[in-house]
Amino acid sequence: NTAEIIPYDDDLICKLFYPGYPKIYVEHEFDNAKAVFQLGIKTPRAYKIVCIAGRDGIVYDKVIGEELSSRIYEANRREQAVWINRFADFHKELLGHVMDSVMDYKDFLKLLAANSTEIIARIHGLRDGNCLLHGDFHPANVMVGTNGELILIDMMNICKGPAIYDIARTYFLLGHNKKLQNEYLQKMGYTLAEIMPY
C-alpha cells in the first residue's frame, strides 16, 4: 500500500515508495530491517536508501518465492494445516528474540490514538516487554523461498513489547478468515479472552 517493488540489480530489488511518502518513515523501516537482519532472522538484507526519480526507496536482497498466503489459501485441507503450523511456529520463533533498539509498542500505538486521553490511558495500562514484535505479521508478509524456507518481509511496524500484543495483532489481521484466525490463536496457546485487551 505504500510502495512498489522494482528490479535494481541482478540479485537486488528496490522497494520504491510512492511520491510524497515521508522520508522519515523510509529511514525508520531501513533501521528496523537492519536490526532484524542482525538478529539472524531469515529476512532480506537492507543495503541502502536510494532516490529514484524523486522517490525514496530501500535496496534489499531479492527473494525468489511466493507469499505464504498463496500456499495457505490455495492448499487442500491437509496441506493447509501444515502451512498454518509453520506460520505459527515462525511467529513463535520471532517472538523468542529480545529487541531493545527499536520503538516500544506503546509509543507506536500512541501515534495512532488521535490524542484520545481514554485510549492513551488504556495503552499505558497494558503490559511492558522487550520481545521482537513484527506488528504486521500475516501470511502475505511471509515469503516461501524456493527451498521451502520461510522469509520475513515488511519491517515498517517493527517494535518491542510483550508477545501477546503481536499475537492479538495477527489475530485481528486474519479476521477475514475465521477458521484460520481461530486455528492460529489455538496454535499460539492463547484464548480470545486473553488477547482482548490488546
pLDDT digits (tens, 9 = 90+) for 62-98: 999 999 999 998 878 888 999 999 999 999 999 999 9
User: Residue 123: pLDDT band by 50, 70, 90 thresholds?
Assistant: very high
Rounded Cα gap, residues 150 and 85, in angstroms: 12
Tally of CA atoms within 13 A in the half-sphere of 198 that contains its CB: 25
> What is the per-residue pLDDT for 74?
86
Helices 77-95/163-173 angle, 10° precision: 150
Mean pLDDT of the chain: 95
Grid cell at residue 140: 502475505
Helices 163-173/178-188 angle, 10° precision: 160
What are the C-alpha distances in Å from 74 to residues 3, 79, 83, 191? 26, 9, 11, 27
User: Residue 54: pLDDT band by 50, 70, 90 thresholds?
Assistant: very high
Residue listed under C-alpha cell 523461498: 145
Quick one: which of 39, 56, 75, 86 has its CA closest to 183? 86
User: Residue 49: pLDDT band by 50, 70, 90 thresholds?
Assistant: very high
Grid cell at residue 20: 510524497
> What is the per-residue pLDDT for 73?
87
Rounded Cα gap, residues 136 and 156, in angstroms: 8
Grid cell at residue 180: 484460520
> What is the per-residue pLDDT for 76?
81
Rounded Cα gap, residues 120 and 99, in angstroms: 23
